[in-house]
Structure 1
């Protein structure tokens, strides 16, 4: 029995897309595979998403919001953490999440890496959400900084090697954790000094 378009939501399509990607991988997943999983025609999927690229963007956005932004928001909202400790925990959480998904959700991480190369607006929006939270954490601290937005962006960029998917091949290095701690020590001593 075919599902009615009116009752088929974008959320249902995105969930089915995630499941299909987990089963076949991103390169072998087609819009037709997703449609079959939902028992609808591929035209139904195209009414919600104009192309496979848009479907993958939607899936990636959902995945980022649920698996990256939601846990980071919990750190951001944890008022028991203060100053440099809060920022360090935020970045370490980001790093741990990305590493975990690179290993344990490889198929969806691969979609994220692929979309990162092709969907600049989505990636910019994702980064802006994180740096906005970091900026607010900086504003609430007693750091000696005149431009919290700029510092948040700088910290994000300085730590890119530890969380950007193009560097995933480096994350299994036995020295990667110490390299992050060394970098953080420099950041904390140089930019995150108290007023």
Structure 2
């Protein structure tokens, strides 16, 4: 089926936008390029996304949300002990970021530009991530595994403490020898600090 005979959806536009960004980069990619890739007029794209900025924010949110969904499965998995959930969540975040940076460096660099433009989208994403961490730490407090007076404050602290392993500004360090060992050592330290003292 050709692009012009398929129903034009927001999802199809976002997929095409991602390809256009990969090909042209954020500085040169235009709505006209996206429309051309879809075989439609740029007005058709604007019916779904009112401005170029709205389209770029939506494609950034889509990229960030892919990671959130995977982490949400870990957060909600009550069959795992809170300590295991926290370790798995941090490891999944690190691995997702490493994969994004390593598998498609051009698109990763493009998204670094887009996330700087879309501060509101990024702020929402960070709030979602720290919300997940808060839920895990609350579960640990409820089970008696963690000692934390304010789980949200602790969640934010854990997120910032592990920033070297998920903040894109550190991506050049993620493939260095010893990076995984450094990550494991940091998580071990954080978990020791979170554990409730033995009765």
TM class by shorter chain equals 0.7 to 0.9
> 1:70 Cα deviation (Å)?
1.2
> 1:161 Cα deviation (Å)?
1.0
Aligned residue for 1:193?
Answer: 195
Give TM-score, length-normalised by structure 2.
Answer: 0.86
Q: Distance in 1 between matches of 2:117 and 2:49?
A: 16
Contact 1:3 1:38 in 2 (8 A): yes
Secondary structure, counterpart of 2:53 in structure 1: helix
Which piece of structure 1 moves more, 126-135 or 17-26? 17-26
Distance 1:194 1:49, change over 3 A: same
Aligned residue for 2:38?
Answer: 38
Q: Deviation per CA, 1:63-94: give whole Å up to 9, x if none.
A: 2212x011111111222221222111101100
Q: Distance in 1 between matches of 2:149 and 2:114?
A: 34
Contact 2:22 2:110 in 1 (8 A): no
Q: Deviation per CA, 1:71-124: give whole Å up to 9, x if none.
A: 111111222221222111101100000100111132332232112222221111
Secondary structure, counterpart of 1:146 in structure 2: coil
Secondary structure, counterpart of 2:196 in structure 1: coil
Contact 2:83 2:191 in 1 (8 A): yes
Contact 1:2 1:39 in 2 (8 A): yes
Aligned residue for 2:157?
Answer: 154
Q: Deviation per CA, 1:24-56: give whole Å up to 9, x if none.
A: 343442221101011222233334334433322
Give TM-score, length-normalised by structure 1.
Answer: 0.87
Q: Distance in 2 between matches of 1:115 and 1:70?
A: 20
What pairs with 1:33-112 in structure 2 (closer than 5 Å)? Answer: 33-66=33-66, 68-112=67-111
Secondary structure, counterpart of 1:74 in structure 2: helix
Aligned residue for 1:22?
Answer: 22
Aligned residue for 1:145?
Answer: 148
Distance 1:185 1:49, change over 3 A: same
> 1:2 Cα deviation (Å)?
9.1
Aligned-pair Cα RMSD in Å: 2.1
